[in-house]
Amino acid sequence: MQALANKRIILGLTGGIACYKSAEFLRRAQDMGAEFDVVMTQGAQQFITPITFGALSGRQVHTDLWDNSSSDNMAHIHLSREADAIVIAPASTHFIARLANGLADDLLSTLCVARGHCPLIIAPAMNKEMWANPATQRNIAQLRADGVHIIGPGAGDQACGEIGDGRMLEPLQLLAELIAFFQPKSLTGKRVLITAGPTSEPIDPIRTITNRSSGKMGYAIAQAAFNAGAEVQLVSGPVKLDAPYGVTRQSVESARDMHRAVMDLAPTADVFISVAAVADWYVVNASNQKLKKDQSQQAPKLEFAPNPDILASVASMPIAQRPYCVGFAAETEKLIEHAHAKRLRKGVPLLVGNLAQDAMNADNTQLMIFDEAGHNQWPVQSKTEAAQQLIMHIAQQLDPK
Burial class (CB in 10 A: 0-12, 13-18, 19+), 399: exposed
Q: Least distance to ligand C5P from the beta carbon of 288, Å? A: 24
Interstrand relation of 191-196 and 231-236 (parallel, antiparallel or unpaired): parallel
Looking at the Cβ atoms of 328 and 370, the one nearer to ligand C5P is: 328
Closest approach of ligand C5P to the CB of residue 316, in Å: 12
40 vs 302: CA distance, rounded Å: 66
Residue 174 near residue 245 (C-beta atoms within 8 A): no
Q: Residue 188 CA to chain centroid, in angstroms?
A: 15
DSSP state of 58: S
CB 374, min distance to ligand C5P, A: 19
**Rounded to the nearest whole angstrom, what is the least distance from the CB of residue 380 to ligand C5P in the complex?**
21
Supply the minimum distance, in Å, between the C-beta of residue 331 and ligand C5P. 8
Q: Residues 123, 127, 129, CA angle at the centre, nearest 5°?
A: 115
Closest contact distance (angstroms) between CB of 327 and ligand C5P is 4
Under 8 Å between Cβ of 318 and 300: no
> Based on CB atoms, which residue is closest to ligand C5P, 103 or 362?
362
Dihedral pair phi/psi, residue 85, rounded to 5°: -165, 155
Please report, for residues 38, 361, 363, 385, the alpha-carbon distance to residue 390 in angstroms, rounded to integers and kept in the order given: 35, 19, 16, 9
Element (H, E) at 107: helix 107-113
Distance CA 170, CA 24 (A): 9
Q: Which is nearer to ligand C5P, 46 or 332 (CB)?
A: 332
Smaller CB separation from ligand C5P, 124 or 327? 327
As annotated, the active-site residues are 160
Binding residues vs ligand C5P (CB under 6 A):
195, 255, 274, 276, 278, 307, 309-311, 327-329, 342
Distance CA 23, CA 36 (A): 11
- The residue among 243 and 263 lying less far from ligand C5P, judged by its C-beta, is 263
How many angstroms separate the CA atoms of 77 and 12, rounded?
Answer: 15
Residue number, 140 or 310, with CB nearest to ligand C5P? 310
| 20 contacts: CB under 8 Å, gap ≥ 6 | 47, 48
CA atoms of 336 and 352, how far apart (whole Å): 10
Sequence-distant (6+) residues with CB within 8 A of 299 are none
Is the Cβ–Cβ distance between 328 and 336 less than 8 Å?
Answer: no
CB 380 within 8 A of CB 366: yes
Shortest Å, Cβ 279 to ligand C5P: 7
Which C-beta is closer to ligand C5P: that of 13 or that of 224? 224
DSSP letter for each residue of 182-212: HS--TTTT-EEEEEESB--EESSSS-EE---
Nearer to ligand C5P, 270 or 309 (CB): 309
**How far apart are CB 124 and ligand C5P at their closest, in Å?**
40
